[in-house]
């Protein structure tokens, strides 16, 4: 607690202050609360009900209690999709966040024409996905593609990024690096919030660039790192669109339009959920998947939240 509160600790005035603060707190949060009640509460509750029903979207749901969950736990594709997704969470998160941070730091070096460069780095995120999916098929083409041509030139192995189950996910991570524009912008904004005075003062104390990074920069942007970390994890757990487009592109959609990529290496959790919901009309099973995912993400996020105090600093700290 800060000093201000301690001073004022005298019975009635504290609770009055508390009450008015609570009122303001609720008032400012009102938009979200109302929005939630109108738009989210019903869909969320009903999806929970669906998760315990046999529901094909069009006919009335039939209550089956925990059958959907039981079915999932004995479904090998459930575990496979979870595994594939965890791969992206565990590898994708540090790689994209790290790259985003590094590039943001690079751009933060008082470069002339910063606006231009920042725009350039953001550009790939703006190109419509449907247009860039073709580009990626060309770049990742194992025989003529740009990436493998470069690898050939430096004498390295040229894997089949599109069809080799061991390389399809790394291919997605590489593609994901082009989308770090978002991350760069957010980190850049937070980097610029770290007071220059701190750097100048530490320089006079003889600190080098690395020390400055560890002791000033990182703590200074830790609140945003926290944000990026959680958002990245939530996003990767729900990874869908890129995989969906890449699969559609390289295999022509599969026999029933519901492929999970080469040997299901790209069968991510959300993709499998989508298959169940709109492909097999098993909305009950899909809803059960959604709730399991919710619990998993919640657990992971709660864990990170708990560690918050240890490494995230705000404001004056």
Partner 1 sequence: MVINNVKSSVNRSQVATRLLVYLLVIVLSIVFLIPFLWLLSTSLKTQKEIYQFPPVIFPYKLNFNNYYLAVTKMPFLRYTVNTVVITVLCVIGQVISSSMVAYSVGKIKWKGAKILFPFIVGTMMIPTQVTMIPLYIVYTKMKLVGSIVPLVLPSFFGGAYYIFLLRQFFKTIPDSLVEAATIDGAGEGRIFVKIILPLCKPALTTVGIFTFLATWSDFLGPLLYLNKEEQYTLSLGLQAFMQTHYVEWGPLMAASAIFTVPIIILFFFAQSYFIEGITVTGMKG
Partner 2 sequence: MRKHNWRKMVSLTLGFALAISLAGCSGGSQKKTSDNPKSEKSAEKKTKVTFWYLWSGEEGETIEKAVQEYNKQSDKYKIDMLSVPDTQKIMAAIPAGNGPDVSDDFSNNVGKYASAGILEPLDDYISKTKYDTDDFIPAALDSCKMDGKTYSLPISMNLEALYYNKTLLKEAGYTEPPKTMEEMYEMAVKTTKVNEDGTLDVCGFPDFPAVYYLGNFATAAGGGWYTEDGKPSTPDDFGNQYALKLARDYRTKFGLENVIKFQSGGKYLDPTDPFLAGKQVFRVDGSWMGKSIKETFQSDVDYGVTYIPYPKDKPELKARGLISTSTLYITANSGNKDGSWDFMAWFAGKDGQAASTIKNGGFPSRTSLLGDETFRKGYDIDFYTELAQSKNLTFVPNGPKNSEYDTIVSEQTELCLNLKQDIETTLKNINTKGSEILK
CA–CA separation, 83 and 169 (whole Å): 12
Binding to partner 1 (CB under 8 A) within 264-303 occurs at 270, 273-274, 277-278, 283, 286-287, 289-291, 293-294, 297-298, 301-302
CA–CA separation, 100 and 39 (whole Å): 34
Question: Left (φ > 0), alpha (ψ -120 to 50) or beta: where does 262 sit?
Answer: beta
Ramachandran angles phi, psi of 122, nearest 5°: -85, -20
Q: How far is the CB of 226 from partner 1 (least distance, A)?
A: 7
279 binds, among partner 1, partner 2, none (CB under 5 to 8 A by kind): partner 2
- x/- letters, 160..179, toward partner 2 (CB under 8 A): xxxxx---------------
| Nearest residue (CB) to partner 2, 118 versus 282 | 282
Is the separation of the CB atoms in 118 and 185 below 8 Å?
yes
| Nearest residue (CB) to partner 2, 121 versus 167 | 167
CA–CA separation, 160 and 301 (whole Å): 35
**205-225 b/e with 16+ CB inside 10 Å = b?**
eebeeeeeeeebbebbbbbbb
- Residue of the chain from 86, 99, 105, 137 that contacts partner 2 (CB under 8 A): 137
- Residue of the chain from 10, 59, 74, 317 that contacts partner 2 (CB under 8 A): 59
18 binds, among partner 1, partner 2, none (CB under 5 to 8 A by kind): partner 1
- DSSP symbol at 207: -
- Asked if residue 73 binds partner 2 (CB under 8 A), the reply is no
- Asked if residue 35 binds partner 2 (CB under 8 A), the reply is no
- Asked if residue 65 binds partner 1 (CB under 8 A), the reply is no
- Residue of the chain from 14, 66, 90, 120 that contacts partner 1 (CB under 8 A): 120
Binding to partner 1 (CB under 8 A) within 238-257 occurs at 238
> Which CA distances in Å does 234 have to 97, 185, 191, 193?
13, 19, 23, 26
Q: Which stretch binds partner 2 (CB under 8 A): 96-104, 173-181, 196-204, 278-286?
A: 278-286
Q: What is the 3-state secondary structure (H, E, C) of 238-286?
A: CCCHHHHHHHHHHHCCCCCCCCCCHHHCCCCHHHHHHHHHHHCCCHHHH
Crossing angle, helix 168-177 and helix 241-251, to 10 degrees? 120
Q: Which two tokens stand for residue 113?
A: 């024409």
Binding to partner 2 (CB under 8 A) within 116-135 occurs at 134
| Nearest residue (CB) to partner 1, 3 versus 11 | 3
Is the separation of the CB atoms in 97 and 317 below 8 Å?
no
- Asked if residue 189 binds partner 2 (CB under 8 A), the reply is no
- Asked if residue 256 binds partner 2 (CB under 8 A), the reply is yes
| Nearest residue (CB) to partner 2, 232 versus 242 | 242
Q: What is the 3-state secondary structure (H, E, C) of 75-89?
A: CHHHHHHHHHHHHHH
- Asked if residue 197 binds partner 2 (CB under 8 A), the reply is no
Is the separation of the CB atoms in 268 and 81 below 8 Å?
yes
- Asked if residue 280 binds partner 2 (CB under 8 A), the reply is yes
- Residue of the chain from 43, 144, 204, 208 that contacts partner 2 (CB under 8 A): 144
| Nearest residue (CB) to partner 1, 57 versus 66 | 57
Q: How far is the CB of 56 from partner 2 (least distance, A)?
A: 5
Binding interface with partner 2 (CB under 8 A): 56-59, 134, 137-138, 141-144, 160-164, 249-252, 254-256, 258-259, 262-264, 275, 278-281
């Amino acid at each position: 607690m800060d000093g201000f509160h301690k001073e004022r600790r005298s019975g009635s005035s504290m609770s009055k202050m508390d009450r008015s603060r609570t009122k303001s707190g609720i008032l400012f949060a009102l938009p979200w609360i109302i929005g939630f009640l109108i738009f989210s509460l019903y869909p969320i509750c009903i999806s929970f009900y669906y998760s315990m029903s046999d529901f094909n979207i069009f006919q009335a749901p039939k209550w089956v209690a925990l059958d959907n969950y039981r079915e999932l736990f004995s479904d090998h594709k459930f575990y496979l999709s979870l595994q594939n997704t965890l791969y992206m969470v565990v590898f994708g998160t540090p790689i994209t966040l790290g790259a985003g941070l590094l590039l943001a730091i690079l751009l933060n070096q008082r470069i002339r024409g910063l606006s231009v460069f920042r725009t350039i780095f953001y550009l790939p995120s703006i190109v419509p996905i449907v247009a860039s999916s073709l580009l990626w098929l060309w770049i990742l083409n194992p025989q003529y593609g740009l990436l493998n041509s470069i690898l050939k030139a430096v004498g390295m192995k040229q894997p089949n990024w599109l069809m080799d189950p061991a390389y399809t996910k790394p291919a997605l991570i590489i593609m994901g690096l082009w989308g770090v524009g978002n991350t760069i912008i957010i980190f850049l904004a937070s980097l610029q919030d770290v007071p220059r005075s701190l750097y100048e003062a530490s320089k006079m104390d003889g600190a080098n660039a690395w020390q400055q990074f560890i002791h000033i920069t990182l703590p200074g942007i830790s609140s945003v790192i926290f944000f990026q970390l959680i958002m990245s994890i939530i996003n990767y757990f729900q990874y869908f669109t890129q995989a969906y487009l890449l699969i559609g592109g390289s295999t022509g959609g599969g026999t029933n339009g519901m492929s999970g990529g080469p040997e299901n290496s790209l069968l991510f959790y959300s993709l499998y959920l989508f298959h169940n919901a709109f492909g097999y009309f098993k909305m009950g099973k899909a809803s059960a998947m959604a709730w399991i995912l919710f619990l998993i993400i919640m657990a992971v996020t709660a864990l990170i939240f708990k560690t918050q105090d240890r490494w995230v600093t705000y404001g004056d700290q």
